[in-house]
């Protein structure tokens, strides 16, 4: 659907896993779910996080692929590995800073969220964002997100010295501009 | 006689639950990708009744597609909704009627099975009297089927004992709203939630039990609403609460009376509203006078400051909504609890407006519609009272019988099981109910079932209860028969028939009508399709509280649901009640009640010192008859776990994954522990969806609320001890 963007807000997630179950109903990868879902630390908290591929502007998975099997399309979507090319080496699995790609043994290839290419390319929302009962995963226009949410969409992430910009947005506290993952990112050790 | 004929293992290997993971035709087949048609209908699980489109090919449901145009859920679904399509072609589906043999069940013809059923029911009634036979219905049935069950019991069988599993669900809220407001319905449509500035949620695990409601709450928060959660467990939505009140199981009334005390003490009431639109405020005020925050805190375990804060947040707002579910209602003072919630709404004038009102979150699929048209032991269609002469006359006229032929009110669901146990009731016909898993004190339930002289079941899977039956009539899934349900908002919606029942299974309503014919009452059951039942139901409900007269299938499709009451064909329906300040009592006023504290029916003491509370998980539905057969849902939460706090776990040397024996005054079961900080340290939690040695209801007790007759599932006393290994599964 043109003009729509994907937003992830783990603070809304209720851990129901509808996304996980609905993903495998999608026509391009039937029976296999591409959602990444975690209980953050069930003993300490009820917090859960469900997320999709972040679809990096300069995807690390594609950079490290020795078989040139991972493609970013014109609309910014980074696809699953191309079956004829993928050698199942798992470089992408190890390299992705977000931990998204999975090697699917039954198909001997890396598969990951392709933003429901079959749905989004014909004007539908991705399956997960359609069913998500808390709209922790949502697919709407930037105007709609600005008008309805208090949190701010962010798509700049720092992993140490690696800056990554993504197509998918993380909803962050209103005063956040970029998201840094590592405490080391907050320490001062001279110019980076 | 009704002892299960085979061992649990033998029954399981033949009838399941087996796990179905794959759509018909497999994941790679075309049937899921390229369906012949998409049928716009609703999920069969839970009172949200989400709109969904079922993919259909070759008379089989092969998948789903979200239905984004349906206004309630706008395409959203929980995991149960996503996977609900896997039931129709399930290998455990009953494809023929089954007759009990010496060593199990055999497939029978319909004539054989129905003749046998009718003969046995007639024999028992001739020998022991009309009321020796009881009927159980269910709140997952369409409203047409629910209506038919009430009529079948009273006209077909002439017994006064008809009740349903909604007795385990909505009756405390229903009784309280009827007493206070004059009608049993959530007064507000769900869109009102997004317009509230205060949301007070008590005893409702919204994220897991009413997942779609989460989105309404989050949208209110997005606009700045404050969220207050009262629950012994830190539920998923509590994570975003502005105030969390960790109420001790069974003490909600103390918390609510403490809040009302503060609201009155600090002048936060709406005296003009109270004066103009209510009666009896002094009674409530007098009841809560002794419940200062200190006393309320001592009983409820919620800090006095937090009670004050909650009272001020609610009391200072004129757009407050108070939401509650089974946590509040599954108590031996469930009705008082709900009356206290309604009293807070009335005292602060928070009712009858957008974003203001007390609302109950209905649990079962047709929890609302299933309780409106005569399936309850004391009720006639249209939410009419069975003892009201005018109501009897109206319904008797529609049914073409004399009012004198209508039996008096009978026993409620648990009371029926008690009467079976005592030998007073000898025969039972049950549909859409799995009491062996869902009634409290499961060992007692099993003993009772074994005493039945005749037990007939209508079901699509062989539930644990059905394994005790003499005859099982292979019935239909929700998507196999047209009808209506009413969702959590009392929005009447249209269930479409997507496919025919498989094999020789038949639609539930045709089974009931055939049985009525065999009982010699065929002229009262001339229905050949659900639409004809609905037409009669419209007339039977006309003039009642739940007036459906102005509702038609076509109008529902056009408006995407019609809120009752809808008295005339040109009436648009009533999304919000009481907008004119008139309540549904004869005096037009809302009624305040006296509130009185009582202890739980199974109090903690030195020996049983821990509170046990039970509930649902998001991936399972009720007794699990359907959802324990769907692989993806079972994988999400395969076995019941005992949730307990690290403080309690440490005292007993228990770690996550350890086996723990939980013992109540009834029985003991052994489960694996899940040590979490998201529960009160004096409380343990077990979800109740499983049978046998994994059944939380082996531990619960049969104390009922004296008015609603709801069991006290949410409060039992227990003790725990680390165990060597797993206990038995049966």
DSSP class of B156: I
Structure tokens at B405: 């032929």
**A102 phi and psi, to 5 degrees?**
-125, 140
**What does the pLDDT look like over B309-363, one tens digit per residue?**
999 999 999 999 999 999 999 999 999 999 999 999 999 999 999 999 999 999 9
| Residue written as token pair 């040695």 | B693
Residue B32's pLDDT is 73
| Residue written as token pair 């495998």 | A24
**B214 phi and psi, to 5 degrees?**
-55, -45
B646: chain A residues, CB-CB within 8 Å = 43
Report how many Cβ contacts below 8 Å link chain A to chain B: 114
Specify the long-range contacts of residues B270-273, CB closer than 8 Å, at least 24 apart. Answer: B270/B318, B270/B347, B270/B348, B270/B349, B272/B349, B273/B346, B273/B349
Judged by a CB distance cut-off of 8 A, whether residue A152 touches chain B is: no
Q: How confident is the model at residue A137 (pLDDT cuts 50, 70, 90)?
A: very high
CB contact under 8 Å between A133 and B211, yes or no, is yes
**What does the pLDDT look like over B217-271, one tens digit per residue?**
999 999 999 999 999 999 999 999 999 999 999 999 999 999 999 999 999 999 9
Residue A65's pLDDT is 97
Share of chain B above pLDDT 70, in %: 100
What's the CA dihedral at B347, B350, B351, B355 to 10 degrees? Answer: -170
pLDDT above 80: residue B84: yes
Residue B368 half-sphere exposure toward CB, CA atoms < 13 A: 28
- Give the β-pairing of B610-615 and B683-687: parallel
What is the average per-residue pLDDT within B556-582? 98
A153: chain B residues, CB-CB within 8 Å = none
Residue A187's pLDDT is 66
pLDDT above 90: residue B19: yes
Residue A160's pLDDT is 85
Grouping H, G, I as helix, E, B as strand and the rest as coil, residue B17 is coil
pLDDT above 90: residue B629: yes
Q: Where are the alpha helices (DSSP H) in A24-173?
A: 60-64, 91-95, 117-120, 127-131, 142-148
CB contact under 8 Å between A18 and B33, yes or no, is no
| Residue written as token pair 């078989």 | A67
Q: Where are the alpha helices (DSSP H) in B242-280?
A: 252-265, 271-277
* Cis preceding-peptide flag for B512 (omega within 30 of 0): no
Determine the distance in angstroms separating the CA of B195 from the nearest CA of chain A, rounded to an integer. 13
B619: chain A residues, CB-CB within 8 Å = 16-17
Contact A178, A157 (CB under 8 A): yes
CB contact under 8 Å between B656 and A43, yes or no, is yes
Residue B686's pLDDT is 98
CB contact under 8 Å between A21 and B82, yes or no, is yes
Grouping H, G, I as helix, E, B as strand and the rest as coil, residue B428 is strand
Residue B12's pLDDT is 85
What is the average per-residue pLDDT within B413-419? 98
Q: Which of A76, A62, A58, A54 is closest to A154 using CA atoms?
A: A54
Share of chain B above pLDDT 90, in %: 96
A14: chain B residues, CB-CB within 8 Å = 207-208, 211, 214, 236-237, 618
CB contact under 8 Å between B618 and A45, yes or no, is no
Residue A184's pLDDT is 67
Between B23 and B28, where is the model more confident?
B23
- Burial (0-12, 13-18, 19+ Cβ within 10 Å), B551: buried
**What does the pLDDT look like over B487-525, one tens digit per residue?**
999 999 999 999 999 999 999 999 999 999 999 999 999
Residue A185's pLDDT is 66
What's the CA dihedral at B414, B415, B419, B425 to 10 degrees? Answer: -90
What is the average per-residue pLDDT within B578-582? 97
Q: Which helix (H) or strand (E) holds B563?
A: strand B562-563
**Of A17, A18, A135, which has the smallest distance from its Cβ to B218's Cβ?**
A135
What is the average per-residue pLDDT within B25-29? 86
pTM metric for this prediction: 0.97
CB contact under 8 Å between B211 and A45, yes or no, is no
**What does the pLDDT look like over B659-691, one tens digit per residue?**
999 999 999 999 999 999 999 999 999 999 999
Q: How confident is the model at residue B5 (pLDDT cuts 50, 70, 90)?
A: confident
A44: chain B residues, CB-CB within 8 Å = 677
**Of A18, A30, A44, which has the smallest distance from its Cβ to B32's Cβ?**
A30
CA distance B717 to B699: 9
Hey, of B214, B238, B638, B647, which one would you mutate to test binding to chain A, going by the most A CBs within 10 A of its CB?
B214
CA–centroid distance for A115 within its chain: 9
Q: Could you please report the per-residue DSSP string of B45-74?
A: SSTT--EEEEEEETTEEEEEEE-TTSTTTT
Between A160 and B663, where is the model more confident?
B663
**Of A15, A45, A131, which has the smallest distance from its Cβ to B66's Cβ?**
A131
Q: What is the mean pLDDT of chain B?
A: 97
List Cα–Cα distances, B267 to B262, B309, B310, B598, in angstroms.
Answer: 8, 14, 15, 28
């Amino acid at each position: 659907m043109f003009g729509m963007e994907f937003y992830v807000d783990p603070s809304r997630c209720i851990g129901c896993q509808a996304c996980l179950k609905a993903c495998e109903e999608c026509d391009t990868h039937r029976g296999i779910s591409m959602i990444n879902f975690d209980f953050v630390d069930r003993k300490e908290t009820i917090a859960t996080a469900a997320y999709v591929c972040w679809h990096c502007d300069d995807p690390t998975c594609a950079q490290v692929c020795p078989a040139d099997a991972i493609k970013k399309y014109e609309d910014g979507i980074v696809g699953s590995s191309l079956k004829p090319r993928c050698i199942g080496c798992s470089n992408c699995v190890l390299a992705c800073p977000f931990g998204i790609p999975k090697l699917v043994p039954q198909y001997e290839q890396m598969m990951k969220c392709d933003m429901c290419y079959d749905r989004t390319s014909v004007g539908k929302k991705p399956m997960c964002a359609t069913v998500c009962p808390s709209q922790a995963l949502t697919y709407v226009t930037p105007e709609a997100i600005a008008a309805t949410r208090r949190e701010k969409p962010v798509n700049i992430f720092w992993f140490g010295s690696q800056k990554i910009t993504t197509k998918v947005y993380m909803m962050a506290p209103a005063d956040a501009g970029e998201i840094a993952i590592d405490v080391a990112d907050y320490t001062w050790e001279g110019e980076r | 006689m009704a002892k299960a004929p085979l061992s649990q293992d033998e029954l399981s290997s033949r009838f399941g639950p087996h796990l179905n993971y794959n759509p018909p035709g497999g994941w790679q087949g075309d049937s899921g990708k390229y369906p012949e048609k998409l049928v716009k209908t609703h999920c069969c699980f839970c009172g949200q009744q989400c709109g969904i489109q079922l993919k259909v090919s070759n008379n089989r449901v092969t998948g789903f597609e979200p239905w984004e145009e349906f206004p309630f859920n706008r395409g959203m679904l929980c995991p149960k909704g996503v996977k609900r399509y896997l039931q129709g072609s399930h290998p455990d589906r009953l494809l023929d009627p089954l007759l009990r043999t010496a060593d199990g069940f055999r497939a029978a013809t319909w004539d054989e099975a129905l003749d046998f059923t009718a003969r046995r029911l007639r024999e028992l009634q001739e020998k022991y009297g009309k009321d020796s036979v009881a009927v159980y219905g269910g709140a997952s049935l369409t409203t047409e089927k629910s209506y038919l069950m009430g009529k079948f019991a009273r006209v077909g069988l002439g017994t006064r004992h008809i009740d349903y599993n909604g007795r385990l669900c909505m009756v405390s809220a229903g009784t309280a709203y009827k007493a206070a407001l004059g009608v049993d319905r959530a007064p507000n449509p769900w869109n009102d939630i997004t317009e509230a500035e205060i949301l007070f949620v008590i005893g409702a695990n919204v994220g897991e039990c009413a997942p779609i409601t989460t989105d309404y709450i989050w949208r209110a928060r997005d606009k700045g609403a404050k969220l207050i959660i009262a629950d012994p467990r830190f539920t998923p939505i509590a994570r975003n609460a502005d105030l969390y009140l960790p109420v001790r199981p069974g003490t909600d009334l103390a918390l609510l009376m403490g809040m009302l005390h503060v609201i009155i003490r600090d002048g936060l009431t709406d005296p003009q509203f109270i004066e103009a639109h209510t009666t009896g405020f002094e009674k409530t005020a007098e009841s809560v006078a002794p419940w200062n925050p200190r006393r309320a805190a001592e009983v409820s375990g919620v800090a006095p400051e937090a009670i004050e804060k909650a009272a001020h947040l609610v009391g200072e707002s004129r757009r407050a909504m108070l939401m509650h579910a089974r946590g509040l209602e599954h108590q031996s003072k469930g009705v008082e609890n709900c009356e206290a919630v309604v009293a807070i709404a009335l005292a602060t004038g928070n009712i009858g407006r957008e974003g203001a009102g007390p609302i109950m979150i209905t649990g079962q699929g047709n929890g609302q519609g299933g309780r409106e048209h005569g399936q309850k032991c004391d009720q006639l269609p249209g939410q009419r009272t069975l003892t009201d002469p005018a109501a009897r006359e109206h319904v008797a006229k529609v049914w073409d019988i004399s009012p004198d032929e209508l039996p008096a009110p009978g026993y409620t669901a648990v009371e029926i099981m008690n009467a079976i146990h005592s030998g007073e009731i000898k025969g039972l016909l049950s549909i859409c109910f799995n009491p062996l898993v869902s009634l409290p004190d499961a060992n007692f339930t099993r003993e009772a079932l074994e005493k039945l002289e005749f037990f007939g079941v209508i079901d699509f899977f062989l539930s644990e209860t059905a394994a005790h039956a003499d005859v099982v009539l292979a019935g239909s899934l929700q998507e196999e028969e047209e009808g209506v349900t009413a969702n959590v908002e009392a929005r009447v919606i249209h269930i479409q028939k997507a496919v025919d029942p498989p094999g020789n299974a038949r639609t539930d309503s045709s089974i009931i009508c055939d049985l009525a014919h065999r009982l010699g009452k065929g002229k009262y059951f001339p229905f050949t399709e659900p639409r004809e039942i609905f037409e009669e139901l419209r007339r039977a409900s006309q003039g009642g509280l739940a007036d459906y007269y102005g509702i038609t299938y076509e109008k529902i499709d056009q408006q995407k649901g019609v809120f009752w009451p809808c008295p005339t064909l040109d009436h648009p329906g009533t999304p919000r009640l009481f907008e004119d300040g008139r309540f549904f009592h004869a005096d037009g006023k809302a009624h305040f009640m006296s509130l009185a504290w009582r202890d739980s029916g199974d109090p903690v003491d030195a020996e049983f010192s821990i509170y046990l509370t039970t509930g649902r998980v998001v991936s399972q539905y009720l007794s699990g008859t359907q959802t324990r057969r769907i692989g993806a849902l079972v994988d999400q939460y395969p076995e019941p776990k005992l949730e307990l706090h690290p403080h309690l776990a440490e005292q007993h040397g228990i770690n996550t994954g350890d086996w723990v024996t939980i013992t109540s005054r009834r029985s003991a079961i052994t489960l694996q522990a899940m040590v979490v900080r998201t529960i009160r340290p004096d409380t343990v939690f077990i979800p109740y969806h499983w049978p046998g040695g994994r059944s939380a209801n082996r531990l619960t007790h049969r104390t009922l609320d004296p008015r609603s007759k709801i069991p006290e599932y949410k409060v039992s006393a227990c003790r725990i001890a680390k165990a060597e290994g797993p206990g038995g599964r049966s």
